[in-house]
Amino acid sequence: MPRHLIIGNGTAGFSAIQAILEYDSDGEITVISLEHHLPYSRVLLTHYIGGHVSKDNLYMTGESFFKQKKVNLLLGAAAVNIDPEQKRVELDNGRVLSYEKLLVATGGKPVIPQHLQKESPDIMGLRTIEDASYIRQKSLSGAKIVIVGGGSLAIELACALREGGNFPEMVVSSSHVLSRVADDEAAAVIQEQIQSYGIRIWTGEDVTEVVHTSKGVEGVVLSGGQEISCQVVVICKGVQPNREFLDRVLPTIRGGIKVDSNMRTDIPDVYAAGDVVEAYELSRQEFCVSAIWPHAIAQGRIAGMNMTGQDVMYEGSLSRNALEIFGLPVISMGITRVPAKRDWDLDVNQDKSSYCKLVYHDAKLVGAVLVGKVEKAGKLQAAIRKAAGIETVLN
């Protein structure tokens, strides 16, 4: 009986479980999970904070699924070492598990700048159910919350808090929010929408200090010298692969574990998927970490299928972000920041309520930003994947 071992119980890991069960129903599956929860959707955490989703509805399945499918689920356990020669994984409790096929789906963790790493429950990231529950409880109790960061998660959290009756403030080091995907024009529309709902945005500022006493967090100091009174600081500065214990086994990895088109690592019979991997990005034509939920699902499924003996290729990721800001939809995909070089072209259309930017390289569509009117997002995404020419898209 094949023994499949999965490290990680998030989106990629659960997707792999479903694929293995589909193609190898007789195989033995064991899942190691650092968290004490059944698989849940991290993309719904801000919806839970905002009161739109109950905690029970965060979960992707129930305990009965694992019992019926005879999947061994080890909650609250951490893998600390992999022995690829003996095909064994050592856990933090001393237990050793053997495998025939191994999937590493350890996900990511919040990036916390070193000077903000304090021993306080009120200085935190947003990644787990515990994080979301704590932020929600603090918000409902009336605590003032400062969000450090201006990316998608920061904006989603700010909107969720505001919808729950809180008035958070955002501190953004860049000149505008969504600096990695939006230009000045698009950001202006987005920021106006956010601020119109009473959320203050401090742009071009960093949090240099958190004022912390025996009573807890009392405020933050910005690089410009301003002080903001608050009781909670939530840091949304991105996600990094959760791979520390893997460094001894895969010393050549950079940002994440590099995998081939079958989601295999350099170690025989060891696969990887989700936020921990460097997968091929289509528009940039390079390997990079893409911490996006749909990519984790696809990668986990392909890894699971190939662990059962299938030969399925991952076609590559396309960077994509979608969010709704108080009814204003925003979608970005592919390359959205244009270098000052030849063979790059832009097609920009803007009115009072919408903004659309298409990015071309060598007459091929490689990226798009849509604000307001997003009906063509699906067509544009397909065009980027097919490397369509300008005439194809414009027609």
The arithmetic mean of pLDDT across residues 308-328, rounded, is: 92
Tokens of 359: 């990015």
- Do 43 and 293 form a contact (C-beta atoms < 8 A)? yes
pLDDT digits (tens, 9 = 90+) for 89-138: 999 999 999 999 999 999 999 999 988 888 899 999 999 999 999 999 99
At residue 395, does pLDDT exceed 90?
no
- pLDDT given for residue 251 in this prediction: 52
pTM of the model: 0.92
pLDDT digits (tens, 9 = 90+) for 328-379: 999 999 988 877 777 888 899 988 778 999 999 888 899 999 999 999 999 9
At residue 87, does pLDDT exceed 70?
yes
pLDDT digits (tens, 9 = 90+) for 236-265: 999 889 887 787 776 545 678 989 999 999
pLDDT digits (tens, 9 = 90+) for 34-79: 999 999 999 999 999 999 999 999 999 999 999 999 999 999 999 9
CA distance 333 to 319: 5
* Domain spans in the chain, listed from the N-terminal domain onward: 3-108+240-307, 114-235, 327-394
The arithmetic mean of pLDDT across residues 172-200, rounded, is: 93
The arithmetic mean of pLDDT across residues 224-239, rounded, is: 96
Are both 3-108+240-307 and 327-394 of the same fold? no
Architecture of domain 327-394: 2-Layer Sandwich (3.30)
Q: Which long-range contacts (CB under 8 A, 24 or more apart) does 23-28 make?
A: 23/304, 23/305, 23/308, 23/309, 23/310, 24/307, 24/308, 24/309, 26/1, 26/2, 27/1, 27/2, 27/3, 27/308, 28/1, 28/2, 28/3, 28/4, 28/72
At residue 200, does pLDDT exceed 70?
yes
- pLDDT bin (cut points 50, 70, 90) of residue 2 is low
CATH 3.50.50.60 fits 114-235, yes or no: yes
**Reduced 3-state DSSP string for the chain:** CCEEEEECCCHHHHHHHHHHHHHCCCCEEEEEECCCCCCECHHHHHHHHCCCCCCHHHECCCHHHHHHCCEEEEECCCEEEEECCCCEEEECCCCEEECCEEEECCCEEECCCHHHCCCCCCEECCCCHHHHHHHHHHHHCCCCEEEECCCHHHHHHHHHHHHCCCCCEEEECCCCCCCCCCCHHHHHHHHHHHHCCCCEEEECCCEEEEEEECCEEEEEEECCCCEEECCEEEECCCEEECCHHHCCCCCCCCCCEECCCCCECCCCCEEECCCCEEEEECCCCEEEECCCHHHHHHHHHHHHHHHCCCCCCCCCECCEEEEEECCEEEEEEECCCCCCCCCEEEEEEECCCCEEEEEEECCEEEEEEEECCCCCHHHHHHHHHCCCEHHHHHC
The arithmetic mean of pLDDT across residues 11-26, rounded, is: 95
- pLDDT given for residue 393 in this prediction: 56
Architecture of domain 3-108+240-307: 3-Layer(bba) Sandwich (3.50)
Q: What average pLDDT does the structure give for the chain?
A: 91
- pLDDT bin (cut points 50, 70, 90) of residue 235 is very high
